[in-house]
Every structure is written in structure tokens, then in C-alpha cells.
A and B are shown apart, each in its own frame.
Chain A
Amino acid sequence: MKIIVCIKQVPDTAEVRINPETNTLVRDGVPSIINPYDLHALEAGLRLKEQVGGTVTALTMGPPQAEEALREAISMGADDAVLLTDRAFAGADTLATAYALSRAARKVGFDLILCGKQAIDGDTAQVGPEMAELLGIPHIAYVKGLVGFSVEGVRVQRLMEDGYDIVESPLPVLLTVVKELNEPRLPSLKGKMRARKAEIRRLTREDIGAEEERVGLKGSPTQVRRIFAPETRKERKMLTGTAEEQVTRLVEELKSLKCI
């Protein structure tokens, strides 16, 4: 069983803020972490490997410093890691990213691809399904439980708004996973020592045979026009009157804010 886990190195968004005066990101000292959802994908991959055998390859696209995230994946138990890095990839939106990753996945080879449901910096949840489309394989998003697994296929629980579905798919398939799926393990000391010495395979655009017009900024249909701070909290309103009056006011306000 060849398992690819896609990971992304992201800034710890809990600590990213925008300076409302300059409209710029304040990121002094914001640490880079592996996208938390991807850790659940990695855990799922490692558990499957422990059950049915095979290998887990961590795959990421990013600048050279993203190697750190791959080493962390190895320290948790990934067998090897591939860093897709090339200045041609800069400025990629989800489609261009999915294209590059899908080419890399083809090059590496796989029976199963696991992704976190979304990355916490972009929150788009698009790269996984787009990758599956470009690879011509089925995908199941929002997987919260693995019910069955064999060489023929997977049976999973897929989270939906009003509950969940039991869904089956043949292999190869791409799954995007949610946090309920499992509790990711921490690295081990032996893993960390292995990770320190591990060779990280680097692939460029040419290595994966990606077309120049389909990667990076050139291959991105969407563009960021501008970024800005969200509206800051309005002045606090203290409601007055009897409980009924206060509540009536509150419900009106919440309705106008579309909270109800």
C-alpha cells in the first residue's frame, strides 16, 4: 500500500493579526506549523500502514523552508518525504497548486492520498478535491471515520450537515479528513533522530513534467486583489429595560446581523 499524505506548512493563524492602520499582516514571531488538519491525515496514514503494511510519503509544495514540516512528518513516522519546490510555483492559487501536487503524486505513485480537510491559512478546502479531479480518481471529503479498508477499496464515514454518510470507494482514492477522525500522535525521539538525517527528495517543475502555463501565478485563475482587516468590534451596547424588553431588542439586533 502506497500512501501519500499531503501536508502544508502554515503560519499559526491564531497569532496572525492585521494592523488596522496600515492594513498589513503582523507576523513578527509567528511560528510555522504543519496545518493541524494535515496531522490527522498523517495519523490516518500511519495507522493504515501499521494495519496493512506499506509506506507513507509526506508531500508538500512550498519554499525550501517547508522542508522543516516534512521532517516533522518523518519524526511522527512517515517513511519519506517529497518537497515540491521551484520558483515557478510561486503565487499559485488552489488550482495551480492542485495541478502541481497531482503531477508530483503521479511521479511518486500511490494507492491512497490523504489530505486535511482544509488549511488554516486559506481555509479553502479546495486543493484535495481539485487534485483528485486532475488525477482522475474519486475523492471523499470530510472523512470522520474509517470503517473498512482493503486492497479493493475503502469504506468511510463522511460528515454531512445533518449527520454522516457511509461511503465506499475503490482504490486509488483521495480522502480529506476532519479532526474527529483520530488523535494525531506526537513525534518520537527515534523518529526525530531519523528525521534529522533523512534525505528529503526535491522535485522541480521539470521533474514532474508540469506545463509552465499551468503552475504558479500564470496557472492561477484567481488573484488576490487586496487584503484588509475585518470590521473591528463595534462599541458594546448595554441593553436596558425588563428582561422581555432586553431580549426583544437583542433578537432584533441579531436578526439584523443575520445571526438568527
Chain B
Amino acid sequence: MNYFLTEEQQMIRDLARQIAEEKVVPQRAELDEKEEFPWEVMKTLAQSDMFGIFIPEEFGGLGMGSFELCLAVEELSRACLGVSTSYAANALGTYPILLFGTEEQKERFLPDIAAGRRLVAFALTEANAGSDAAGVQTTAVKDGDHYVLNGTKQWITNGGEAEIYTVIAITDRTRGARGASAFIVEKGAPGFSFGKKEKKMGIRASVTRELIFEDCRIPKENMLGREGMGFIVAMKTLDQSRVGVGAQGVGVAQGALDEAVKFARQRVQFGKPIISFQAVQHMLADMATQVEAARALVYAVARYVDSGAKEITKASAMAKVFATDMAMKVTTDAVQVMGGSGYMREYPVEKMMRDAKILQIYEGTNQIQRNVIGQALVREAARKA
């Protein structure tokens, strides 16, 4: 397929692919096995300007958008979803600053982020606030020129490794959803510490930790947007980043498909390579078709997001839900095509299958995505009526 990429877009895709093949593939099994954060890969990505893709040129970035970011995410995901999660979570944490930061905040943080000198994380989820984001219990109380944060964030990707955190906390419990605000918290802030590192089923190269705030004082200049805008910051951020999760789905599925095809050509049963059997061909054909359909949707939505459209929630939810359900199916089928070999850690597809599962869960479960799409349909119908 030809998606008519510009020369610059091809450049991003090619370089991301080169990094994936040369720096990620050789060590992905080890990173998974040892549950090790891929610092070396992050350094390579930084040196290659990959962290600056979606950051404006005035702040040291390349001034491109979601689509270009998706191209890079897709290529990294093809090699290792753990690595691409660490990379994409950085973008997720950066969007609040990009979308709602003041000039001063942008100048303070974006150049370091664009250069990959400092890693970012986004902190919304808590023990009682997952799909129900309104359940956030972490509080931020104003005290003179500071806010004082208390509470615990859970399952924060890049937690402990990142140096910059965008955190959603309640500033006024009486106002419900309008009582939350967003803050930038830097590693090393007094009263800010990290909890245990989670042991996960997949994406084990990525790090997931608790963030613990105990009377954590941060200057009031670190608030993003105005007081009470916390959930808007969070929702707009997720609207931007969701299509990236779709790109992760396309990438990991493509990676699994590639492995399955390669294996099916080599594996001989009944005196023939198994790829010559129609039963196998049909499975591969369905996998390839699904990957391509998801890619077309993800690319279209990413371009739509970059067009500056206001209402992107439904489209980005569609891209996420379709591409990630597809990824789960295709990676599972890749294991099936490869049979016993596919199930063994000797080959990468069992890892891809384990990794893919998270895509249906994080950044809003696929059930929540369907709610979002459904509600949008209801609203649109009501508007027409």
C-alpha cells in the first residue's frame, strides 16, 4: 500500500525502522526477560531526534504532528511494544504541556523533552480511578505560592525513570469533575517518591510504578491551565494520544504477521512448507487484511487530528479500539500459525501476544472507547433530530 508519505515522513519511518531493527530487535527478548527499562534505546532515540517529532521547532523539535509520531510509534512497536510504550508514554506526558502550557512553561520544559534529555510521564490513574477518571482522590491544596499534593498514583508508565510528571489532582472536591487540576511535578520535588515496580504480563521493558505524594510542595507556576481544568487537560491529552495506541496496535500486528509469514515459509510439514497450505494462507490473508485496514484507519485519524479538527474524540476512539482489538487477534493468530514454536520464547510472537493485550486496556479500555463512540453517535443523532 502507498499512503503517499512525504519525503520527511518517509525519513522518520525509515530511521525509526533502522533503530528498531538495529537497536531494539537484538535485545528485545533480554529486555522482556529481565524486565529492564530500555535506557540505551531511549538514548539512541534521543540522539536521533525522535523525541522532538511533535514538538514545535521553536522549542527544538521538528514541528510535526500526530501522524509523524504515529509512524515512529508503529515502527518501534513492530520490534517491541515495551520500548514503544516507554516512548509513547513520553508523548502522552508531554501533550498537557504542549496543549495547555504557558509560553514560560513550554520554554522551560519542551527543549529538554525534544532533545530527549528528560523523560516525561502522565499520571491520572489511581487505585479507585481507572475507567472512572472522576474517582481521583489525590488532592492539591493551595498554600501561598505553592500547592501541596497528597495521594498515590498507580500504574504510571515511565514512573521513576521520568523526570517530569504531569499529574491530575483534585483542587476542589465539591465541584466534581470540575474540581480537578493538572500540575507539572519534577522528580526530586520534596515529598515526591516512588512505590514498587509492577510485575507485568507483557510490555515488560516498560516500567510501571506508583507515584507517592506526601505533602509534596510544588510552585504554583507548575499548574497547567487554570484551576478546575484538570479533566479537560486529561481528556484532550487522551484524545491526542489515543491514535498513537492505535499505531502501536498496527505495529505489533505487523511484526507478528512478518514473523508468521517468515516461519510459514521455512517450516516444512507433510513434505511442503506450511505456507503452501490453504488453511495457513487464509489465516495469513485475514491477518494481513486486518492489519492494512487498521493502518488505513489509524493514518486517516492521525491526519484528521493534525488537521486541527475540534471533535476528534470519536475518531481517535475508533482508531484505538479497532487497531488494538485487531492487534490482539493478529498476534494470537501468529502464535497459532507458528504452532508450538510460536508458543516458545525462542520466537518473538508469544511476547507480541502478551504485549498486545495491554493495548485493549490502557489509555481507556476498549469498552470505555465503545462508550465514547456510542455517546458520540447519540449526540450526533440528537443534533440532527
Contact = CB atoms under 8 A, between A and B. Distances in A.
Contacts of A192: 11, 15
Given A192-B11, A192-B15, A196-B7, A186 B22 contact: yes
A24 interface: no
Given A193-B8, A196-B7, A188 B22 contact: no
Interface string A164-193: 000000000000000000000111111111
Nearest to A196: B7
A185 B7 CA distance: 22
Contacts of A189: 11-12, 15, 48-50, 52-53, 62
A190 B64 CA distance: 12
B18 A186 contact: yes
B44 to A, nearest CB: 6
Contacts of B8: 193
B47 interface: yes
Interface string B1-18: 000000110011001001
B19 interface: yes
Contacts of B11: 189, 192-193, 196
B16 to A, nearest CB: 9
Most-contacted residue by chain B among A185, A186, A190, A191 (CB, 10 A) = A186
A148 to B, nearest CB: 25
Q: How large is the interface on A (under 10, 10 to 19, 20 to 34, 35 or more residues)?
A: 10 to 19
Nearest to A190: B49
Contacts of B47: 185-186, 188
A226 to B, nearest CB: 36
Interface in A176-220: 185-193, 196
B15 A186 contact: yes
A185 B19 CA distance: 10
A47 to B, nearest CB: 12
A227 to B, nearest CB: 31
A186 B49 contact: no
Interface in B48-70: 48-50, 52-53, 62
Contacts of A185: 44, 47
Q: How large is the interface on B (under 10, 10 to 19, 20 to 34, 35 or more residues)?
A: 10 to 19
Nearest to A192: B11
Nearest to B45: A186
A188 B22 CA distance: 14
Contacts of B49: 188-191
A78 to B, nearest CB: 15
A187 B15 contact: yes
Nearest to A191: B49
Nearest to B22: A186
Contacts of A187: 15, 18, 48
Contacts of A193: 8, 11
A186 B7 contact: no
Contacts of B15: 186-187, 189, 192
Interface string A120-140: 000000000000000000000
Nearest to B18: A186
B19 A186 contact: yes
Contacts of A191: 49
A186 B62 contact: no
Contacts of A186: 15, 18-19, 22-23, 44, 47-48
Nearest to A77: B47
Nearest to A189: B49
Contacts of B7: 196
A187 B47 CA distance: 8
A164 to B, nearest CB: 26
A190 B18 contact: no
A192 B15 CA distance: 9
A196 B19 CA distance: 20
Contacts of B52: 189
Contacts of B48: 186-189
A190 B62 contact: yes
A235 B53 CA distance: 55
B139 to A, nearest CB: 41
Nearest to B11: A192
Nearest to A185: B47
B26 to A, nearest CB: 12
B83 to A, nearest CB: 15
A189 B52 CA distance: 9
Nearest to B64: A189
Contacts of B19: 186
A167 to B, nearest CB: 31
A184 to B, nearest CB: 10
9 closest A-B pairs by beta carbon, nearest first, are A189-B49, A188-B49, A188-B48, A192-B11, A190-B49, A186-B48, A185-B47, A189-B62, A186-B19
20 contacts: A185-B44, A185-B47, A186-B15, A186-B18, A186-B22, A186-B23, A186-B44, A186-B47, A186-B48, A188-B48, A189-B11, A189-B12, A189-B15, A189-B48, A190-B49, A190-B62, A192-B15, A193-B11, A196-B7, A196-B11
Interface of A: 185-193, 196
Given A192-B11, A193-B8, A193-B11, 17 more contacts: A186-B15, A186-B18, A186-B22, A186-B23, A186-B44, A186-B47, A186-B48, A187-B15, A187-B18, A187-B48, A189-B12, A189-B50, A189-B52, A189-B62, A190-B49, A192-B15, A196-B11
